[in-house]
Amino acid sequence: LVILFSQEKSVDNKPWYRDAWDDLLDQFEEKSYLNARRWKPGLDPYKLHAFNQRECERTPSNRALRDTRHYRCTTLHYGPDLPPTSIVITFHNEARATLLRTIRSILNRTPVHLIHEIILVDDFSDDPNDCLLLTKLPKVKCLRNDRREGLIRSRVRGADMARGEVLTFLDSHCEVNKDWLLPLLQRVKEDRTRVVSPVIDIINMDTFAYVAASADLRGGFDWSLHFKWEQLSAEQRARRADPTEPIKTPIIAGGLFVIDRSWFNHLGKYDTAMDIWGGENFEISFRVWMCGGSLEIVPCSRVGHVFRKKHPYVFPDGNANTYIKNTRRTAEVWMDEFKLFYYWARPAARGNVRGREELRRRLKCKSFKWYLDHVYPELKIPDDSDSKSGVIRQRQNCLEYQTLEGQEMPVLGLGPCMGTKEVPALYQEWIYTHGQQIRQKQHCLSLSTMFPASQVLLLPCNASDGKQRWQKSGSHLEHLASHFCLDSEMALDGLESSRMLVISPCEPSAYTQRWEVPFS
């Protein structure tokens, strides 16, 4: 078997792979390695990896790629003393052909003196040889988890082992393009607080064709913390007279980036309480910007990536919703009062984040408002301009906010309707929010328990608290978590205006559960 390498040359103008590495390369038998778990005719080629395994295996591991950079990138020169990097690649049951192609492209297109090591972290794949056999290739080391840990903890394990000055994180289904690493290392060398990402080209999941991506994109998101690519505005494009200039980005995709190792450790690495996959790019992006760093996409660095439409692997304990858990942790630690908008989009319970909150205090990081003002002002903050407001009425009485002497918390009550329909009394005017809360000032209708006859209370609004969510159902107000209805129960004094507010099983004919409300 002859393993062909492209004739890339190092800074001393000599083919870098000769002499020292020839013996190591000869020891690796590509054909034997790829035979394991190879696609067989008659089987669904998408079943194992959620991409076309047949075409993947037909694609040579050392294929030539078209240089997708802007032509001006070829005129740039980089310093001779760039720092070497440890390249960390994590994987779980990755197709051998894809994993090998990732490594071969790195070895083919990276000057040898810039690769300190390639650390593969095998996250408890079914076959340990997926990783171990690759250590016959130059610079490759293998770590294997003794249980499934997920992307975040696996990357931290690889970073802890790394000895290069700089860390480069890559996915296991990539192909790096010509001179991909030099511009990334140059930016980090100039400023160790920069975290830089390449332009991510597309490797088609059906044909494995390599397709150039636009260089006028940056990372963005919505309030549900859903990542999206967004075009630079006309004003932003006009400011970039030079197409080789890096693009400041509010957030990175997270799979491919370069960071100074000491800066990564100083910032607190990753949040290792996150599970398996998802959301870690938001957490590290907010942390970098808010704690003194910056994020860039470097147009003169190109790396291809296989984008899939679904996850091919099984989540431990059958929990496939790690994205929600992980983004929730991000919202709790980093988004300050703006996490309210996240919970409006993704109502959920909170988690324990004390350790990461302490990290944020120790690093003296800026507020999320600073991030919105200076990094991502394009993200529109929702307001209550289209929320419904008005009185909640039962016959002649209205729901009202009462402050009683000697009591710290306000009390919910019924009182004679005051003011007019157009201008009700302030203490009887309620707002129904996007998050399905019924609020008066900073307090919302809530419950302490969800049993029949439980009293409805006024508690500080908390968008993540499911006990504060209500919806109108006909003439009833239904509590979403318990599926009981708001009811007015006669108090001990027997006065109509001092009825208690409770939840009861919904009864269509019960007049005490009928309300006139200003929202639908």
Highest-confidence range of 207-221, 224-238, 339-353, by mean pLDDT? Answer: 207-221
Residue 21 pLDDT greater than 60, yes or no: no
Residue 247 pLDDT greater than 50, yes or no: yes
The pLDDT value recorded for residue 18 is 44
Residue 520 pLDDT greater than 50, yes or no: yes
Grade residue 159 by pLDDT with cuts at 50, 70 and 90: very high
Gap between the Cα atoms of 390 and 432, Å rounded: 9
Q: Break the chain into its structural domains and give their ranges.
A: 22-306, 388-513
Could you give the maximum distance between any two Cα atoms of the chain, in Å? Answer: 98
Report the CATH fold assignment for 22-306. Answer: Spore Coat Polysaccharide Biosynthesis Protein SpsA; Chain A (3.90.550)
**Proportion of the chain above pLDDT 90, given as a percent:** 63
Strand partners, 305: 174, 202
Grade residue 24 by pLDDT with cuts at 50, 70 and 90: low
The pLDDT value recorded for residue 4 is 36
Grade residue 385 by pLDDT with cuts at 50, 70 and 90: low
Buried residues in 395-434 as b, exposed as e (16+ CB within 10 A):
eebbbbbeeeeeeeebebbbbebeeeeeebbebbbbbbbb
pLDDT digits (tens, 9 = 90+) for 91-124: 999 999 999 999 999 999 999 999 999 999 999 9
Q: Do domains 22-306 and 388-513 have the same CATH topology?
A: no
With tokens 């720092």, the residue in question is 83
First to last CA, the chain: 72
Grade residue 78 by pLDDT with cuts at 50, 70 and 90: very high
pTM for this predicted structure? 0.75
Q: Higher model confidence: residue 259 or residue 234?
A: 259
Grade residue 240 by pLDDT with cuts at 50, 70 and 90: confident
pLDDT digits (tens, 9 = 90+) for 304-316: 999 987 766 665 6
Average pLDDT, the chain: 88
The pLDDT value recorded for residue 318 is 52
Instruction: Say if residues 115 and 21 touch (Cβ distance below 8 Å).
Output: no
With tokens 């930016």, the residue in question is 187
What is the mean pLDDT of the segment spanning 280-308?
Answer: 97
Report the CATH fold assignment for 388-513. Answer: Trefoil (Acidic Fibroblast Growth Factor, subunit A) (2.80.10)
pLDDT digits (tens, 9 = 90+) for 265-287: 999 999 999 988 789 999 999 99
* DSSP structural state of residue 251: B
Gap between the Cα atoms of 226 and 276, Å rounded: 17
The pLDDT value recorded for residue 7 is 36
Give whole-number Cα distances, 350 to 159, 218, 277, 463, in Å.
29, 30, 19, 10
